Amino acid sequence: MRIKLLILTIFTVQSYVFGQPFLQTPIGGEQGKDWIVVNYVDWDTAGVKDHHCGTKAYDGHQGTDYVLKSFRQMDNGVDVLAAENGVVTYVQDGLFDRETEGIISKKLGNYVALRHDNKYYTYYAHLKKNSIPVKVGDTVKSGEVVGQVGSSGNSTDPHLHFEVWYDSAVLVDPYQGPCGNSTSLFTSPVPYDTGLYVWESGIHRKNELNINELRERIVTEERPYQFKPSSDSVLNFWAHLSGVRKGKVVQTDWYAPDGQLWFSFDVTLDQDYWYYYFWTFINHQNLAIGEWKVVLLYDGKQVVEEAFEVDDNVGLDQLHFSEPCASLARDLVANKLNTLDLKRVEVFDVYGREVEPQHDLVPGIYIFQIAVHEGNVCRFKKWME
């Protein structure tokens, strides 16, 4: 399974550079660790070509997309920074910030526009709802926080879409390259990076996995992975990758405790992917007792290995809760919610919103917080079918 990131398309304008470098990187954190650049300005009026003559763009793209790993990372907060001293000329805020469909009509979503003294304008788009601390007319300094990364507007994943315009009329690609501008507008431009990244990987137990559940990271089991020999749901392995190239093979091999290959699945990539989800599954019935492993290979080389234990006795008792939390954990495993004193129970969904435990809960992961004695509480994370 694969996904191509689709973010923003407006119209194509030839880009030019005027003046000397003056911009700073408009996002906090480090490239390759906290974010990656998925799309640059498209320089090709007939097809797709970034400033390095590569495929890190899509048709008509007018900016640079600095993309996070997941919505979980977005929720923790990643700052968007003014790339240079400037005056705020426009602010839009309050729009939904967990978009996953990529609808062009939703445009930039929540965004900030800055005017700089040298006639350049910069735009910071798809920001998190209610994260913008500035207002029109404010003067901001280079590096000052103007919002946080979100997924508002025409967006499928949390990212900052950054645009540069000269005199608010001419689109400018701020990066330099053999198929673009001869100089960069950044004083210290982040390197053009086409390397392979394994962002995250994991194993979970769920039928009919969908891409939004991976974006939210809400279905992955916690390590160390432990499963009973049989279950009503399949076992899934997933990986979030960047920099996988056309013609290369992505493959997963599942190995039983005796070291024998249990199942293998592979796909040959039909194009370059700079933001790519891949997952496979095995039937979760009558698995052999012992330690299993699943290996991810790219172009024949191992890039990920996940191990999991299969045991008849797997359960929350193995997590060594102390009493009274152990007893409460056993009740939760058995879905004995009716045994709990609901006056002492608080239940929260993955977004931190409190829900009523006595009502039917939709399938998903919930946090149970149960008061015990002397101000102490027991906290559990549980998948509710």
Same domain, 100 and 203: no
Render pLDDT for 168-212 as a digit per residue (tens, 0 to 9): 889 999 999 999 999 999 999 999 999 999 999 999 888 888 888
Are 83 and 25 in contact by the 8 Å Cβ rule? The answer is: yes
Radius of gyration of the chain (CA): 24
Q: Domain count of the chain?
A: 3
Same domain, 225 and 304: yes
Render pLDDT for 41-89 as a digit per residue (tens, 0 to 9): 999 988 899 999 999 999 999 999 999 999 989 999 999 999 999 999 9
Please report, for the domain that includes residue 72, its CATH number: 2.70.70.10
59-to-39, 40, 46, 256, 311 alpha-carbon distances in Å: 10, 11, 8, 45, 51
| Gap between the Cα atoms of 156 and 98, Å rounded | 8
User: What is the length of the chain?
Assistant: 385
Same domain, 74 and 41: yes
Same domain, 250 and 322: no
Same domain, 45 and 163: yes
Same domain, 136 and 214: no
Are 161 and 9 in contact by the 8 Å Cβ rule? The answer is: no
Render pLDDT for 253-286 as a digit per residue (tens, 0 to 9): 999 999 999 999 999 999 999 999 999 999 999 9
Terminal Cα-to-Cα distance of the chain (whole angstroms): 24
**217-253: b (≥16 Cβ within 10 Å) or e:** bbbbbeeebbbeeeeebbbbbbbbbbbbeeeeebbbb
3 found inside a domain: no
Structure tokens at 54: 């590569």
6 found inside a domain: no
**pTM for the whole structure:** 0.79
DSSP collapsed to 3 states, 84-110 = CCEEEEEEECCCCCECCCCCHHHCCCC
Same domain, 297 and 323: no
Same domain, 81 and 160: yes
Structural domain of residue 136, as residue ranges?
A: 36-172
